[in-house]
Amino acid sequence: MKIKLAQSAIEGSEINQLERVTGEELKRCYQCGKCSAGCPVSFAMDIPPTQIMRFLQLGMFDDVMKANSLWVCVGCLQCYARCPQGCSVANVLEGLRQMVLRKGEDHYGVKEISARFLEKAPQQAIVCGFRKFVS
Amino acid sequence: MKIPYYPGCTLNTVAKDFDLSAKTSALAMGFELAELPQWNCCGATFPLTPDNIIALTAPAKVLSNARLAGDTLTTLCSVCYNVLKRTNKVIRDDKERRSTINGFIEADYDGSLNIIHFLEILRDRIGFEKVKKAVKKPLNGLKAASYYGCMLLRPFEDMGIDDSEAPMIMENLVTALGAEPVTFPNKIECCGAHLAMNNEDIVTRLSGNVMTSAVNSGAEIIVTTCPLCHYNLEKSQPKVAESTPGYKNVPIVYFTQLLGLALGQNEAGLGFDKNQWDARPLLKKKGLL
């Protein structure tokens, strides 16, 4: 895969916004891979946590936004617990979700919830799901 | 001794067995869970972006109301505990956000509340030694795997209830109750959480990893502190059993159900009838019911 690097993208407005929203410093990540190793859902991600951090360091914001990773992350904070640099990929992914949701774009809708799920599901799953997926 | 108590939305509805068995056990241990006269949902997720102030207003309102009832607040659900404790820390330590949040909820809360989990009351205020002495029916021979999940433990610097990689608080409790603790590799792994809403495959895989890991380590019963973990495990079990040769379904119970049982409480006050995988045949077999 060929990657075109551009200083303007690395210092781009989206990357700046992401760092501002999350309070995370993307450049701290030195790619040890502990987050991807510990992540319970990395198997289901188009781009695993370590690579999310690298892509963002390289300014490849649009590629990251196309990945399912931001919607698959459950926010369990295992990545953060094991990061030697104190980075939280979970916070970064939440920041990316927020940047989508704040534009009013929902990832999931009320109508998509199955009746079978609503019958017995704990309220906290519904409230939490809406916080993560709906603007 | 009365301790102000926040049940949260789930314990008031689908996890009534958790609420009931905790209240029963508390009384047997000599204290009362005094439900807050006024409370609302905590929001069920702590916002991971610090600028998302609006998501902090619901838990802040709970905290501000709870402060009127005393200087301590206890809760049972891992998620409520996580959200309330982390929000409380933000309000206590971050003056700017505190003032914004108070502006939204029209209050003047300062973060002076002490948020403790029910497990901490047993360990730190009463002591597991005393719990052990209060046991009337030791759970001898019951192999119990304690499943922690995520929200009770992480992030460590905010939660601090126990080591976030190798916690022992639940194993120490079940040991005090006379049961045999089973440690297993997946005890702090995620169950799939809110993906229950839109991604059943991931939840089945993650909850399956937890259950097969526990059962392969010798567990006869799995003990939880979180209604969402409880739900995901229970619901995933048929599919896990179907796809795992030799797997046998195990009951999944709240730690308070075993606590009440060991304290000699009547079955009616422990909610065993609400569990999807009935623990009673196993408990009868062990001579505990």
Please give the Cα distance from B148 to A88 (Å, whole number): 21
User: Do residues A58 and A10 touch, judged by C-beta distance below 8 A?
Assistant: yes
Q: How many domains does one find in chain A?
A: 2
- Confirm whether B212 is domain-assigned: yes
Q: C-alpha angle with apex B78: B76 to B80, nearest 5 degrees?
A: 80
- pLDDT average, residue stretch B88-94: 98
Q: Give the whole-angstrom CA distance, residue B86 versus residue B271.
A: 30
A134 and A77 inside one domain: no
* CATH number (domain holding residue A67): 1.10.1060.10
Across all residues in chain B, what is the average pLDDT?
97
Q: Using the structure block, give the residue that is written with the tokens 């590799």.
A: B185
DSSP B37: S
Quick one: B106 and B148 in the same domain? no
DSSP for B173-186, please give it.
Answer: HHHHTT-EEE--TT
Q: Are residues B245 and B159 in the same domain?
A: yes
Q: Are residues B155 and B233 in the same domain?
A: yes
Q: Is B112 found in the same domain as B171?
A: no
Q: How far is B228 from chain A (nearest CA, A)?
A: 6
Edge-first strand order for the sheet with B180-182 is B180-182, B143-146, B221-224, B252-254
Domain extent for A121: 108-135
* Pairwise CB contact (< 8 Å): B193 & A125: yes
**Helix, coil or strand: residue B245:** coil
Take residue A83 and report the two structure tokens written for it: 């990061």
- In the prediction, which pLDDT does B110 show? 98
List CB contacts (< 8 A) between B49 and chain A: 21-23, 91, 94-95, 98
CB contact under 8 A, A80 and B79: no
Range of lowest pLDDT (A1-15, A65-79, B56-70, B81-95)? A1-15
Q: What confidence tens digit (pLDDT) does each residue in B37-69 have? A: 999 999 999 999 999 999 999 999 999 999 999
Phi/psi at B155 (5° precision)? -80, 145
Which of B82, B190, B194 best tests the A interface by mutation, with the highest count of A CBs <10 A?
A: B194
If you count DSSP H runs as helices and E runs as strands, how many of each does chain A have, helices first? 10, 0
Rg (CA), chain A: 16
CA dihedral B58, A23, A26, A9 (to 10 degrees): 100
Domain co-membership, A96 together with A135: no
Do residue B14 and residue A133 have CB atoms under 8 angstroms apart?
Answer: no
Nearest to B194 among A77, A80, A125 (CB): A125
Examine residue B128 and state whether it is found in any structural domain, yes or no: no
Predicted interface score ipTM higher than 0.90 = yes
Range of the domain at B103: 2-118
> How many domains is chain B partitioned into structurally?
2
Residue A109, classified by CB atoms within 10 Å of its CB into exposed (0-12), middle (13-18) or buried (19+), is: exposed
* pTM for the full predicted model: 0.97
Closest-approach residue (CA) in chain A for B198: A113
The rounded distance, in Å, linking the Cα atoms of B90 and B107 is 15
Same domain for B171 and B277? Answer: yes
